[in-house]
Amino acid sequence: MPYLDHAATTPMLPEAIAAMTGQLGRVGNPSSLHAPGRHARRVVEESREIIAAAFGARPSEVIFTSGGTEADNLAVKGLYWRGRAQGRNRVVASAVEHHAVLDAVHWLAEHEGAEVVLLPPDRHGRIAPETLAEALTDDTALVTVMWANNEVGTIQPVAELAELARAGGVPFHSDAVQAAGVLDVRLDGGGGPAPDALTISAHKLGGPLGVGALLLAKGVDPTPVLHGGGQERDVRSGTLDTPAIAGFAAAVEAATSRREESARRLAALRDDLIARVRAAVPDAVLNGDPVDRLPGNAHFAFPGCEGDALLMLLDAQGIACSTGSACSAGVAQPSHVLLAMGLASEQARGSLRFSLGHTSTPEDLTPLIEALPPAVERARRAGLT
């Protein structure tokens, strides 16, 4: 049955499975000096080179982490602390960031005395460069704006935003977890304006869970969040997971080698999905930028529905998707992304995200389109009781 939640995690690519399982039976800490350790180190460094080449970085600029959340926290907290040591106390972030960034920013405000400025998006979730320009001050320690939104799929004008931050002498971080592997994400900007730090995560592009990386431009050295053995440029301590890193590199190499072809295929499939959902449920509202959006993302609001109820009705039919809301202590909360975009609370609570990936086919759409109208009708009736 259809799996339409690739934005949450996508199945591992065969190349990644082969690379990871090939290392699982071997022993060796990559920090050890004996032969098994040297073998593990070689695997790690060759993987580092592959990932660096794919994302326009030097191998020394790839800092391995346990995933996107750790990488985001290292960038946000570490760069803020570095800036504060230089007398800078302001953090500028978009209001539509993933919680791994947004919660780290709020933590800095609550516990470290940071002055936080949240940039409001337009109705499509896009941050206008002039909005950032107005927020930049001499005491800004960090700007963080995601490459593409994980909920509504809107792609941000990263090059323009990075150029503004650089002109002000402010480090610019971008959470590229959703964009890596499907968009042309590069730390060097392809010769144009570029971020100083990029977050990527393996399991979003066909690699294993539990491994990711923070790409840090040369000379950008955040204060460490973890302390220990000093691995990873003294920025991130901890024993490296050699099998996971091997799988990560294999997934990156495979995904980026066919990125353009995959993006075209997914965009066509996404457009077909959008058209068929609109035909099946005429009052469904597409959220996010109608043009500059991730190729596999279709995010809809269904008026009169609770998203959680609609999700469970579709799940009962074997269709996996996700809501546009987060749950806290068992109480459904409207998505902060949708509220920042100006949606009413009721509309925000009635949204679903359908996300496509490398295993998606046109045949995945038919069961959804057949199940969606009766599920919407039932969810609306439930909302009236």
| Alpha helix stretches (DSSP H) within 55-153 | 68-84, 99-111, 129-135
Pairing verdict, β 285-287 and 297-301:
antiparallel
* C-beta neighbour count of 111 within 10 angstroms: 9
Annotated active-site residue 321? The verdict is no
Q: Record the tokens describing residue 212, joined without a space.
A: 């990711």
* C-beta neighbour count of 341 within 10 angstroms: 25
91, 222 Cβ separation under 8 angstroms: no
* C-beta neighbour count of 65 within 10 angstroms: 27
69, 95 Cβ separation under 8 angstroms: no
319, 368 Cβ separation under 8 angstroms: yes
Q: Catalytic pick from 275, 316, 327, 344?
A: 327
* C-beta neighbour count of 243 within 10 angstroms: 19
Catalytic residues: 327
